[in-house]
Structure 1
Amino acid sequence: MSKESQLRALVNQKLIEMGERERLKELLRARLIECGWKDQLKAHCKDVIREKDSEHVTVEDLVAEITPKGRALVPDSVKKELLQRIRAFLAQHATL
């Protein structure tokens, strides 16, 4: 395991242990709903299902099709806010 992977695992473990990961997930959910991301992705799912014929679309196909679009639709402001929160957490708990 590379040094970067180890550090990432350690940070993730601390986020989980201290409950910050769940708080960040809740913040992300709220921000995505506020900006209309959920509705946009839902509409995209419906379009994909219509295009591919709903009888022949698997969950795996749908996930593979919508994941890149879902990531691209996340506003930069939401990404920046989450990154700032993670940095603040790390600064506060610098003894990792």
Structure 2
Amino acid sequence: MNKDAQMRAAINQKLIETGEKERLKELLRAKLIECSWKDQLKEHETDFPK
């Protein structure tokens, strides 16, 4: 495992241990809902061929 991977693993572990990872996920979810990203994505669905 290289240094970058070790650092990512250590940070991820600390985020999990402190509960910060869940808090950040909830904050991100709330911000995405606040800016109506899902509605904007649905508007662009027709832009992509099926």
2: CA distance between counterparts of 1:26 and 1:5?
Answer: 25
RMSD: 1.3
The normalised TM-score by structure 2 is: 0.81
Which runs of 5 or more residues in structure 1 are unaligned?
A: 53-96
Identity %: 69
Q: Relative contact order (alpha carbons < 8 A, sep ≥ 6): 1 or 2 greater?
A: 1
Partner SS, residue 15 of structure 2: helix
The correspondence of residues 77-92 of structure 1 with structure 2, limited to 5 A, is: none
Q: Which runs of 4+ in 1 moved over 6 A?
A: none
TM-score when normalising by structure 1: 0.46
Q: Tell me what 1:39 maps to.
A: 39
Structure 2: segments with no counterpart, 5+ residues: none
Q: When the two structures are aligned, how many residues end up with a matched partner? A: 49
